[in-house]
Amino acid sequence: MNELYLVLYGYIPYAVVAIFLVGIVYRMVTWVTAKGLVGLYNANVCLYRDGWGSTTAEVLKRIFIFYTLPGRDRDWSLFIGSFLFHWGIWIALIGHLGVIIPGTYLEKWFGLTPSLHQMIALYVGGTAGTIALIGLLILIARRITGRTITVRVMNEYKVRIPLRMFSFLDDYFAVAILLAIIVLGLYQTLGITPYNPAYVDVISKWMWSLVTLHPSIEPIMSYPILQVHALLAMIFIAYFPWSKMMHPFSFLFMPTIARPAIKVKTTEMG
């Protein structure tokens, strides 16, 4: 049994990281090497954006503030859901550094005392996880319930958005696994850590053993919630590069966004 645990939580994490990194590079290479463009040229999806500065700004705005998401005929559910989910996840992921690096190093390197660390984990981590959960629930709700958006011209056009019709197993798999990871993560942050201050050390002992290439699974043997959370996370990380979860990286390569438009010179006209 211990051997199985050792393989699962001691060796497989390395394979998962390798699959993740190789997969991401592989997917990016497939995007870069697909050199053809429809109709031999490229047309942007932004007006008068013909410089590299504005192109970079466009890419960053789309990644970090989701500014196009409400759309012209305001569908706030996608904007709010995405904004909450992504920012919640990003903050929570940064917070995970605190469970990878042992407390002694956190204090030595960053001056983070155990009590301060616990407070940040509880309040910042708890808030981030809750925000991510709310965001994800909004996104799931809009996917499985039939929604109607109103497009106002002179009359109002009620536009049915039949997302269920266009959602498949891969879409549901990604959101289901994310939901489980967030719920379990949140439970550990809000339900275990406040009552067991040593819990963070338990996790970091295991994680740090992986980082230092001396895997030790002893610290987590008696924490089943943590084991399930970690297992689901490993499945998700390995799945990530082969799925649509790659979408944040697409902004760097999308021909309609990541290239400046051709500029018309209007200075010399006869």
Q: Which residues bind other proteins (CB under 8 A)?
A: 27, 30-31, 34-48, 50, 62, 66, 68-69, 71-73, 75, 78, 82, 142-143, 149, 151-155, 157, 159-163, 165-171, 244, 246-247, 250-251, 253-257, 261-262, 264-266, 268-270
CB of 65 to other proteins, least distance (A): 11
- The size of the chain, in residues, is 270
Nearer to other proteins, 97 or 252 (CB): 252
State the Cα–Cα distance between residues 61 and 56, nearest whole angstrom. 9
Residue 4 or 154: which CB sits closer to other proteins? 154
| Smallest distance, other proteins to C-beta of residue 160, A | 7
Nearer to other proteins among residue 39 and residue 224 (C-beta): 39
Handedness of CA 178, 181, 186, 189 (dihedral sign): negative
Is residue 114 within 8 A of residue 140, CB to CB? The reply is no
Q: Pick between residue 108 and residue 244 the one whose CB is nearest to other proteins.
A: 244
Cα–Cα distance list, 219 to 15, 200, 205, 206, 239 (Å): 21, 11, 7, 6, 27
Between the two ends of the chain, the Cα-to-Cα distance in Å is 84
Q: Measured from the CB atom, is 153 or 213 closer to other proteins?
A: 153
Helices 12-33 & 224-239 angle (0-180, nearest 10):
20
